[in-house]
Amino acid sequence: MPAVPYRPLADFRPRERLAAVPHTTRRFACRSVLALSPDARALAFVSDQGSGTFEAWTAPRAGGAPSRALSLEGGAVRSLCWTASGELVGAADRGGTELHQLYVRHPDGPVAPLSVDPQSKVQRLLSWNAASPDGRTVAFSSNARATTDMDVVLAATAGGGERILLAAPAWHVVGGWSPQGDALLVMRVLDNTTQDLLVVDVASGSAREVTRHRDDTQHVGAGWLADGRVLEITDEESEHLYLAALDPRSGARERIDAPEWDIELAASSADGRVQIWSVNADGYSKLCWRRDGRVREHDLRGVCNDLILSSDGSHAAFVRLGARDPWQIGVLDTRTGEARTVVTTTRAVTPEELVDPDLVRIPGPDGPIPCFVYRPRRASAPMPAVLVPHGGPEGQSRPALVPVDMALLQRGIALVVPNIHGSTGYGRAWQAAIHKDWGGIDLRDLRAVTEWMRARPDFDRDRLAVYGGSYGGFATLTCVTQLPEIWRCAVDVFGVANLVTMLENS
């Protein structure tokens, strides 16, 4: 590839500041609460269904009662990986610190520490595809060397210590082993809109960057193909995130799927012969997979929150949420296309009592604003309504069950949930529009949504409220200070009240 002038964005920011903001690392950590056994007959998942603390459970893929697989006293399991040799590896933190230790449950039953520090001051990131093809080694990210960096570390599942494979300034996240087990795909995360991919030789530790670019561009690693190319989600020269195969030697890129929406998740089998991905189409997820040269689809009628693939590519596991459904774990047979629910969440109410939203486009000064509108089942017009801006701002409101929202609907209160400029899921320009413009383009959108709410005959214009958390709290405070005459009440949940102090302390 031709050389281009390049300076990582991290060079312009103190890495100590970046280290204090775990959100970006979490978003691109490739973690999963799911794992499939080597023979794909068993499913492991993280749940608090037993003691109220997050533990790892296993259940037959074909259905059946789950059993505890990995439980730690005083700890909460957060992510999983199942090796080809049968070890179940879990990342867990204690006391809600989000500083993860790694533990391994061997096939014969005992649980042993894999990478643990007594003071619990080291962060570790465990990817769902962290295990080598032979199952002997697990690759993970760790900041043990320097708190500001995430290095790539190798550990033997049988014990025997750790070896730093890649030590460099930045956050590095494991993106999968090559089918031969001689190389690792590693993602270097600079910020929400800029990542690079590296191929690291496992024997020597030499790293080669394969995605150099001049501007902010996303490159999210998703595994390898059988022919030695890497699988990535990228918006290179595109408005939307698409799925591509990248030749790490020549830099040639083939688009596998480039819809008019964003690809949100993707995975490849250990042998690189099967790929699966999720398309975020206007907030709703659609699964697509490629096997034996054929691409097939499955509409989830909800939101895909997690997605993995068995090592042989025969089955995929996913977490689905819907506006009337709490999280469910499903399994898809990539050979037949059959999908079935394996694990469900206990319901306190029936789906018939809940509400599906209407998806509307509200006219705005900078373009139509996508918005989910929830109307109570039993309410007479005019009804009170609440505006609910999401957090982020680089996030997205999706048609997924939110208990607080459902409680408001049960009380006869409508909800208007917009994805204003700055939201993800609608292209690069829509997301970047809010950069350096908090309180600008977003306020114009919020004003347009508010005017739409006031003009509706089924909404009571004298009983409008706004609530949100994090950036949504900032948006709430913006609404009540810039549009004070509109609101009967407002709720700011851990919102940003002062941009200066936020930047100084986060």
**pLDDT confidence of residue 166:** 96
The fraction of the chain above a pLDDT of 70, given in percent, is: 93
Q: Identify the domain containing residue 103 by its residue range.
A: 31-169
**pTM of the predicted protein model:** 0.90
CATH classification of the domain holding 106 = 2.120.10.30
Strand order in the sheet with 162-166: 124-125, 137-142, 151-156, 162-166
- Residue 275 pLDDT > 60: yes
Q: Is residue 270 part of a domain?
A: no
Q: Is residue 180 part of a domain?
A: no
User: Model confidence over 106-126: pLDDT tens digits?
Assistant: 988 788 999 998 777 889 999
Q: Is residue 484 part of a domain?
A: yes
- Residue 504 pLDDT > 80: no
pLDDT band at 30 (very low <50, low <70, confident <90, very high): confident
pLDDT band at 10 (very low <50, low <70, confident <90, very high): very low
- DSSP characters for 337-380? --EEEEEEPPPSS-GGGS-PPEEEEE--TTS-EEEEEE--SS-P
CATH classification of the domain holding 373 = 3.40.50.1820
Q: Is residue 18 part of a domain?
A: no
Q: Is residue 20 part of a domain?
A: no
Distance set, CA 210 to CA 2, 17, 80, 246 (Å): 11, 27, 28, 9
- Residue 29 pLDDT > 80: no
Closest CA to 318 of 299, 305, 334: 305
In total, how many domains does the chain have?
2
Q: Is residue 159 part of a domain?
A: yes
**pLDDT confidence of residue 92:** 93
Domain end residue (candidates: 169, 187, 205): 169
Domain end residue (candidates: 131, 149, 169): 169
Q: Is residue 111 part of a domain?
A: yes
User: Model confidence over 378-395: pLDDT tens digits?
Assistant: 888 899 999 999 988 888
User: Model confidence over 155-205: pLDDT tens digits?
Assistant: 999 887 899 999 999 889 999 999 999 999 999 988 777 889 999 999 999
Q: Supply the mean pLDDT for the chain.
A: 88
C-alpha triplet 406, 412, 416: angle, nearest 5°: 65
Domain end residue (candidates: 141, 169, 197): 169
**pLDDT confidence of residue 96:** 81
Q: How far apart are CA 213 and CA 8, in angstroms?
A: 10
**pLDDT confidence of residue 194:** 85
Q: Is residue 192 part of a domain?
A: no
